[in-house]
């Protein structure tokens, strides 16, 4: 996913308290067979399924059917960028894990530009990031678009020990500054951002598209080196 998505997601994250136990302690008999953040299914065609949704195939409408009509639809963009069409849930429960979720649609730049121009309302979110609410006429097209990426911000406070317990050791680590480190799982299409000064962020893409997620992180880390 592009830089814009990471910035927006981190901006949306709010510190909800150190409740790690919600994420790691549970009754084994009550664990669902799918839908939890660490239950990622790799598919033969290079796609993956998480939260009951198949990246690259399931649509925003499928996500809304699964998680409810509270989804907010908008174009989210940084200055001088086209931005992305995103579906946002302020709060939902994935299995038994609560959190925020942002779903990014796969749409062309031209289509997104048109949606921004027709938006009845545009407002600032964090810093210079802007959110353009979709016009009613554009909602159906947005909902029909396949998912390019999913981001999840768990309400439970995570740390490295919890991540390793649930997801195993990462294939790669990228530290971008003194408080933010990314744990990468390319075979799963997963990037977990651990931020000692903010909220943790889990980003999912199809494994075949993982390099588009990893490359900007490497570039950011390289630029930060003295």
Nearest to 51 by CA among 218, 163, 189: 189
What pLDDT does 102 receive?
Answer: 97
CA 69 – CA 67 distance, rounded (Å): 7
The average pLDDT across 115-121 equals: 94
CA 193 – CA 199 distance, rounded (Å): 9
Percent of the chain scoring above 70 in pLDDT:
85
Evaluated on CA atoms 44, 194, 102, 29, the torsion sign reads positive
What pLDDT does 3 receive?
Answer: 46
What pLDDT does 33 receive?
Answer: 57
What pLDDT does 126 receive?
Answer: 74
């Amino acid at each position: 996913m592009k830089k814009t998505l990471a910035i927006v997601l981190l901006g949306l994250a709010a510190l909800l308290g150190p409740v790690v136990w919600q994420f790691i302690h549970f009754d084994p008999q009550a664990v669902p067979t799918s839908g939890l953040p660490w239950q990622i299914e790799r598919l033969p065609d290079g796609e993956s399924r998480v939260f009951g949704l198949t990246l690259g195939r399931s649509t925003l409408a499928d996500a809304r059917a699964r998680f409810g009509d509270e989804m907010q639809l908008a174009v989210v963009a940084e200055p001088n960028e086209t931005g992305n069409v995103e579906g946002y849930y302020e709060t939902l429960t994935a299995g038994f894990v609560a959190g925020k979720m942002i779903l990014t649609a796969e749409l062309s730049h031209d289509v997104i530009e048109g949606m921004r121009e027709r938006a009845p309302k545009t407002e600032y979110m964090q810093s210079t990031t802007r959110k353009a609410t979709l016009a009613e006429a554009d909602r159906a097209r947005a909902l029909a678009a396949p998912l390019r990426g999913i981001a999840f911000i768990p309400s439970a406070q995570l740390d490295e020990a919890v991540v390793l317990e649930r997801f195993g050791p990462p294939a790669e680590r990228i530290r971008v500054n003194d408080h933010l480190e990314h744990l990468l799982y390319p075979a799963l299409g997963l990037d977990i951002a651990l931020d000692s000064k903010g909220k943790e962020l889990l980003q999912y893409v199809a494994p075949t598209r993982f390099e588009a997620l990893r490359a900007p992180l490497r570039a950011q880390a390289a630029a930060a080196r003295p």
